Structure 1
Amino acid sequence: MAFELLGVDAVDWSSMRVGSGSPLEIPHLLQRISNPTDEHDLHLAVGRLHSIVIHEHSVSVVECSEHVIPFLIALCRCPRRSVAAHALQLMTELADCDPFWVEAEHGNHGLAARVGAALRAGLPEYGNLLLNDDPLARQAVLVLLFRLEYAPEWLHRTVTDVLAVDDQRGVLDLARALLINPAYHYEGFELIEAALAKRR
């Protein structure tokens, strides 16, 4: 059954600045990513979208980037597991980018803040993906959450949700990600203790 990505054609992409190519490619690429013919097709489409939303030489976000993010968040609900992982990985790269200098020249100030706000708007979807069956999606969402610098309080709530469904894979993935991040060592150890207590 095809995954329906709503609203793509309602956006006026035509005049937006891009990293390379044409902004008119964006709706086609998003639809292609949502229903790829195979994994190779998915990889090619994501790679092409990457070059459009991120300026390659400066590794910067451009005008179209903030408008693509809501659709990347929507792709996290795609039943095809690898689609969510690819969408998350692209959003993680967007989170690491500063605005392209041309944006300020065109009066497009505050782009970095708007990109950050657009990425944070996906928090409910990211939380759901921590319980995803696909380990790549779970790891990808954890990396994105760390890039967005979510507070330990949010991670504690997420840990509670993970433990509530007794998802040992989710627990282990989350604990591992916490332990390798110096800012969250304590939370990682606490999570492992909670998981062990449930098994006793």
Structure 2
Amino acid sequence: MQQVEKVARLVNLDSSLSDSSVPNSDSTDNIISSVEKETVLKLSDVVCATLKNQEFMDSIIPLITEKVSEMVKPQIVQIVDELMQPHLLSIKHNEDTLILKDVEINKYKEEMKMLKTKLDKVEARIEQEQYSRRTSLRFHNVPAATDVNGDIIKPINTDALVLSICNENLNLNLDTRDIDRSHPIGEIKDGKIAIIVRFLSYRQRVSLQQQA
């Protein structure tokens, strides 16, 4: 614009000095067009020089980056949220499923712990019973004393019946001191009973089994 005004002043000055009173419109348009082109060229040179200035670029690029980031960040966040939402729902569902599985696993662990405790108790009882049975022996079809009606007389002296079998039939030499305890077991049938005896010595039981 300064160039245009300068040319205009020159044109006015030239027109006052020349014989013609006013320049024609074509001449004026040509002058203005020439000045505008020259101005554009000079402005282009300024822009190119500015872009080639590294110090200017170093200072302006961070500002441009910050502004662009502020402009596009909300859109990027929205896009990421929309893309992640289905995955977040799936993750939440899987997390809830894992929590339920953990609860179920802990429940099974407690049940297994209880079962193991019961099993240990059963094994201990079986071992104890097995050890106690090492000195026990069962006699079957032992005739018992009966009354005139054929009924077995009670109480039954099982110690005497067992000692009678051992000493008379098996040729052993036992007495009541060798017996810890004895008692009838099972049903009475045809005047005969079964007797279980616990001897004081394991060797006595083995000896009786060998004799039998």
Which has more helix, going by share of residues? 2
Q: TM-score, normalised by structure 2?
A: 0.14
